[in-house]
Amino acid sequence: MNNITNKVSSLRQAIATAIVKVSKQETIDAIQQRKVPKGDVFEFSRAAGLLAIKKTSDVIPDCHPLPVEYAAISHSIEGLNIIVTVEVHTIYKTGVEVEAMHGASITALTMYDMLKPLDKGIEISTIKLENKKGGKSDFKDSYPSNLRCAVIVCSDSIAAGAKEDRAGKVILQKLKQFNLNTGIYMIIPDEVAVIQSKIKQLVSEGYNLVLFTGGTGLSPRDVTPEAITPLLDRPIPGIMEAARQYGQQRTPYAMLSRGVAGFIENTLVITLPGSTKGTEESMDALFPYIFHIFRVAEGMRHD
């Protein structure tokens, strides 16, 4: 099974269909008049399909068990074709496409089993996914390509050459995944005056996104939040709340991060933890969803 521990839970939806084709009108009449000896074809097959949706991970090895929070199965008749439509919703880290298709398959197969004494020419065909929503794939079209990005590592020891930067390089790799180039990657001491001078320079140069790593811990030497907070024109607490919540599900120490985020003029500034793991988790929590903020900000400037 694929590792999905780094994914964010979100609303996932899928719709799948299957076609059951009978060979004569008498079969359709028997279904509609509830005269099939084995029972009500639509109700029995619907129940079987619902069970199949919930049991998908039991029969398909690579499917993750997940909470099914909504499932609906409907039938429609078009000539000698019966269209089975299955819709499934969940709030989880992975999608429900296979659950919907499995439900459509078993619904159709149950209909076949119930109808075969009446009709030897039944066919099941065109089991397919009609639509899916949710997850990072929904945001691919919103990835900006023209953002000017800067990554600033705040660390006295790294600036002095005593340690090697790893957290900043994680940010660079993550940004590259979204086809974003970093115009500036710099290591500076964790000092208020130095930090403030650097962010003012980047704002004046028109950078859209500045990511700081380091200086958000509890040590008296960690001063990045103190340096950035007075400069924020529009704080956005939800950004770091989302990162901390994501991290808290993976380590109880995430609550100790004092990171802040918000706009300085038209520049979004985010302060991330200095640990490699903490930075990686924060980036997974925020990206690509954070890109929506630039669409909102652009709309506000045009209003």
Domain ranges, ordered by start, for the chain:
10-134, 139-302
The answer regarding whether domain 139-302 maps to CATH 3.40.980.10 reads yes
Tell me whether residue 113 is one of the annotated catalytic residues.
Answer: yes
pLDDT per residue over 125-146, tens digit each?
A: 999 999 999 877 676 656 677 8
Res 297 pLDDT > 80: no
| Dihedral sign, Cα of residue 236, residue 237, residue 242, residue 243 | positive
Please give the share of the chain, as a percent, with pLDDT higher than 90. 83
Alpha helices in 116-190 (DSSP H): 156-159, 167-177
Paired tokens of 180: 């974003």
Residue 249 backbone zone (phi > 0: left; psi -120 to 50: alpha; other: beta): alpha
- Asked if 178 and 238 count as a contact pair (C-beta separation under 8 A), the reply is no
pLDDT per residue over 172-228, tens digit each?
A: 999 999 888 899 999 999 999 999 999 999 999 999 999 999 999 888 889 999 999
What pLDDT score was predicted for residue 134? 86
**CA 27, CA 22: separation in Å to the nearest integer?**
7
CA 44 distance to own-chain centroid? 35
Residue 226 has a CB neighbour count (10 Å cut-off) of 14
pLDDT per residue over 5-51, tens digit each?
A: 888 889 999 999 999 999 999 999 999 999 999 999 999 999 999 99
The answer regarding whether domain 10-134 maps to CATH 3.30.70.640 reads yes
**CA 212, CA 194: separation in Å to the nearest integer?**
13
Residue found under tokens 């509890």 = 218
Q: Which residue out of 29, 40, 62, 113 is catalytically annotated? A: 113
What pLDDT score was predicted for residue 210? 98
Band of residue 302 on the pLDDT scale cut at 50, 70, 90:
very low
CA 166 distance to own-chain centroid? 25
Paired tokens of 121: 């020419």
pLDDT per residue over 62-101, tens digit each?
A: 999 999 999 999 999 999 999 999 999 999 999 999 999 9
- Asked if 214 and 153 count as a contact pair (C-beta separation under 8 A), the reply is yes
What pLDDT score was predicted for residue 298? 63
Res 299 pLDDT > 80: no
- Asked if 271 and 210 count as a contact pair (C-beta separation under 8 A), the reply is no
Query: What SS3 state is found at 28?
Result: helix
